[in-house]
């Protein structure tokens, strides 16, 4: 992998990740952009104990542009985009309309390929491995920013999810706090560790799932399963078999096997509802340990956390979506219409 860092016309950082070591990236952003001005502010909800990012500048972000005006495609001739070069393998750049900025963190866009009509599932294993390298590098770099406590790499796929740009891409949020979902996991870890005399809860969950009926696919270094208490109609958790706290902890064997396992998982998602259905909308989310001492979670360290990816769709059956209505949105109590065992069975049935 070759990494080349440059700046866009408004001062935002852009980074090329190339498969070839001899690739030269010297294209200049020719757009007449002014410096980006953001209004991101993090406010604490004292009743719930969580935080909300207020980012009014995002109201003006690009919304479903025509294909020939996609800002994530390479620049061609006089059609200027966020990527100054005429081609790329993987590109990461600071979001022009970030939810988090400055002392409130940082937001980045990850373009998986220059092919507008592709998807992550259509990438080659070599391309997917390069994306993994980019996620890992950005996790490392962002973790050193003074304002960053947790790094979250994710992909929203499909208009049903709320995606406004059709080009295959994901995002990275670098939060200035430990996210509420991670905090819940850490508290459960601490409680279980104390109650069992030191047992790791992630290890116990993984052992139980490996011995059960909800495993979807398994490699030498990774296993994917539908969790016992899945929140979503089709939800899969992908774990490395050797517990590590973040992407940086993966060894070479796990990194090498990841593309094959993950691409197969994504391709199965696209076949859940039949070949005639449109591509399955999904969210793919990496869960990594926060950076820091975790002092508020007594008895738990970063090494107790288990890196894993959670992949789920809001489509519950052909032509129907799972909406977060009263119970889910009002009380955070999910109601799942698809038994996890049946979801796992279906995902095994659609193996390639």
CA end-to-end span of the chain: 29
- CA gap 176, 183 in Å, rounded: 14
- CA gap 331, 253 in Å, rounded: 42
- Paired with 341 in beta bridges are none
Query: Phi and psi dihedrals of 68, rounded to 5?
Result: -75, 0
What does DSSP assign to residue 329?
A: I
Task: Tell me if 305 sits within 8 A of 202, measured CB to CB.
Answer: yes
Task: Tell me if 158 sits within 8 A of 122, measured CB to CB.
Answer: no
User: Which pair of structure tokens corresponds to residue 148?
Assistant: 């960053």
Axis crossing angle, helix 125-143 with helix 252-269, rounded to the nearest 10: 120
- Paired with 14 in beta bridges are 6, 93
Catalytic residue among 167, 169, 237, 308: 169
- CA gap 43, 49 in Å, rounded: 11
Task: Tell me if 314 sits within 8 A of 290, measured CB to CB.
Answer: no
Q: Is 287 a catalytic residue?
A: no
> Active-site residue numbers?
169
């Amino acid at each position: 992998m070759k990494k080349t860092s440059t700046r866009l016309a408004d001062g935002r950082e852009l980074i090329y990740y190339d498969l070839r070591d001899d690739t030269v990236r010297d294209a200049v952003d020719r757009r007449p952009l002014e410096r980006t001005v953001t209004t991101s502010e993090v406010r604490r909800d004292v009743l719930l104990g969580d935080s909300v990012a207020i980012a009014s500048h995002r109201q003006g972000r690009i919304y479903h542009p025509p294909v020939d005006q996609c800002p994530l495609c390479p620049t061609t001739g006089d059609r200027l985009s966020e990527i100054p070069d005429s081609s790329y393998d993987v590109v990461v750049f600071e979001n022009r309309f970030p939810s988090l900025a400055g002392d409130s963190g940082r937001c980045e866009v990850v373009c998986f390929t220059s092919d507008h009509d592709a998807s992550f599932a259509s990438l080659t294993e070599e391309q997917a491995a390069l994306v993994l390298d980019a996620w890992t590098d950005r996790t490392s770099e962002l973790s050193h920013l003074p304002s960053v406590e947790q790094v979250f790499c994710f992909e929203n796929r499909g208009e049903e999810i709320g995606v406004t740009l059709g080009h295959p891409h994901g995002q990275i949020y670098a939060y200035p706090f430990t996210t509420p979902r991670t905090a819940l996991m850490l508290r459960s870890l601490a409680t279980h560790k104390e109650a069992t005399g030191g047992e790791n809860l992630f290890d116990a969950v993984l052992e139980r799932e490996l011995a059960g009926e909800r495993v979807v696919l398994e490699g030498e270094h990774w296993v994917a399963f539908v969790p016992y208490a899945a929140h979503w109609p089709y939800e899969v958790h992908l774990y490395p078999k050797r517990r590590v706290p973040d992407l940086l902890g993966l060894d070479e064997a796990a990194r090498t096997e990841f593309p094959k396992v993950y691409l197969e998982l994504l391709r199965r998602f696209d076949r859940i509802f039949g070949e005639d259905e449109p591509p399955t909308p999904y969210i793919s989310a990496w869960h990594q340990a926060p950076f820091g001492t975790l002092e508020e979670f007594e008895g738990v360290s970063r090494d107790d956390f288990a890196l894993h990816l959670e992949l789920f769709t809001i489509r519950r059956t052909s032509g129907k979506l799972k909406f977060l209505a009263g119970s889910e949105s009002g009380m955070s109590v999910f109601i799942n219409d698809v038994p996890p065992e049946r979801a796992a069975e279906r995902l095994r049935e659609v193996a390639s």
